[in-house]
Structure 1
Amino acid sequence: MKAVVLLSGGLDSTVCMAVAKEQGFELLPLSFNYHQRHNRELACARNVADYYKVKRHLVIETNMEAIGGSALTDNSITVPQGDIARPDIPSTYVPARNLIFLSYALGYAEVNRAEKIFIGVNALDYSGYPDCRPEFINLFQQVANYSTKAATQEGQEISVVTPLLHLTKREIVQLGSRLGAPLELTTSCYQGGDAACGTCDSCLLRLKGFAEAGISDPILYSSTRSE
């Protein structure tokens, strides 16, 4: 059994990879250099892939900087200070990112005859991105069932698996800890420094999850504001 795992180098994708490993899949991690403003997450993804001793860690380059429109790809847009209670979609949203990543993953899975695609999207403790919602995943699955030779000619549908979709950050941290996921190798920070900022949305959500789980976050922070 094979599974493509979308691996960003963050907390959620690493726990997602640990779930796929526990379920007995041969791991095919897939990461992206999408011309994000920093490469810290890619370095973390490589470290996580090395930890699991995968046969191949594929990194695809796709230039989302050219599209722009996000604080994660456009240097002219400031990464906002964290506000995990904000009602609107933050400027760190990258337009169509998960749609693009899942499309690559679908093709990679078909070529390698993988049965599953694991993605660590979460619809509870997250920043409000529209492509992390169950509605999006369900609709992509429908598209996937009609867009591959494997599904339409050979009857081998490739399933998108979202084991973290309905978990809180606390539950994700607890799950990762139970599975022995290398959380110390991950990053969640939008700023991309060697030490996480501790104040962006992603850092605040991560810190909240570890605090509620009663587990010490093993990565380094320049600030530990967690309110």
Structure 2
Amino acid sequence: MTSMSRPAIVLLSGGLDSTTVLAIAKDKGFTPYALSFRYGQRHSVELEAAARVAASLGAADHKVAEIDLRLFGGSALTSDVAVPKHDSVDDIDADSIPVTYVPARNTIFLSFALAYAEVVGASDIFTGVTAVDYSGYPDCRPEYMAAYENMANLATKAGVEGQARLTLHSPLITMSKADIIREGLRLGVDYSITSSCYDPDAEGAACGRCDTCLLRLKGFSEAGMSDPARYQIARA
């Protein structure tokens, strides 16, 4: 079976990175099945963006799984802890794990993707994790992704029976935000329909000062263009 006829699960948050990955999976000839999560995140407008992206890029299906990680809290995204804001990307502390880290989030999301993959007969999962221009999350590192792939092939019916070996694709993991944006634009991604902000307003406008906004703005600046997303305060 060629990739042209193979289904693939794509974790889709509706942000810049996951949107680019969906475009990459489709460009490689996979039939993408998008999977998003309503997990109690304060920035739930990202799910509206994910729906727009899935429709725009032609996902074969788009499922939204319901999990309430507010039960545990432990993150500014799933509790009343304030999302940190900065005046500049240089103010982001790259040496410590920020309070926007959601405990075990990628492990949980990938487990759902793994279950979905078994059901639709997919042996490929795409995720938009990156270890460059990111917030320092431990579950975005290459060694984590490799370890998860090994575990997945020990934990599934398909893996045990030797029907197929699951491959976990992280095509952005060594790319800068600017390079991700350039690749997305090459593939025809409309970034105006995406949402990356951790603390948007009720209308979905980005704050422009959280880590993910600043890293996104830095990427567009380095790519030599303006971010088409809506911000609460006009950006230069």
Deviation (angstroms), 1:84: 2.7
Contact 1:5 1:27 in 2 (8 A): yes
Q: Partners of 1:64 and 1:151 in 2: how far apart?
A: 29
Identity %: 52
| Structure 1 letter corresponding to 2:216 | R
Which runs of structure 2 are paired with 1:61-210 in the superposition (5 Å)? Answer: 61-75=66-80, 77-82=81-86, 83-193=91-201, 194-210=204-220
Q: Partners of 1:87 and 1:119 in 2: how far apart?
A: 24
Deviation (angstroms), 1:224: 5.5
Which runs of structure 2 are paired with 1:208-219 in the superposition (5 Å)? Answer: 208-219=218-229
Determine helix, strand or coil for the equivalent of 1:110.
helix
Deviation (angstroms), 1:55: 3.2
Deviation (angstroms), 1:225: 6.4
| Structure 1 letter corresponding to 2:22 | M
Q: Which digits, 9 at most, give the CA deviation of each residue in 1:35-56, with x for residues without a partner? A: 1113110110011111123332
Choose which of 5, 8, 17 in structure 1 pairs with 2:13.
8
Deviation (angstroms), 1:157: 1.2
Which runs of structure 2 are paired with 1:5-84 in the superposition (5 Å)? Answer: 5-75=10-80, 77-82=81-86, 83-84=91-92
Deviation (angstroms), 1:96: 0.2
Q: Can you give the 5+ residue segments of structure 1 that lack an aligned partner in the other structure? A: none
Q: Which digits, 9 at most, give the CA deviation of each residue in 1:20-79, with x for residues without a partner? A: 01001101000000011131101100111111233321100011110100000102x010
Contact 2:84 2:210 in 1 (8 A): yes
Please give the TM-score of this superposition, normalised by the length of structure 2. 0.92
Q: Partners of 1:85 and 1:70 in 2: how far apart?
A: 17
| Structure 1 letter corresponding to 2:99 | S
Q: Partners of 2:94 and 2:17 in 1: how far apart?
A: 21
Deviation (angstroms), 1:154: 3.1
Q: Partners of 2:134 and 2:234 in 1: how far apart?
A: 19
Deviation (angstroms), 1:147: 0.4
| Structure 1 letter corresponding to 2:131 | A
Deviation (angstroms), 1:128: 0.2
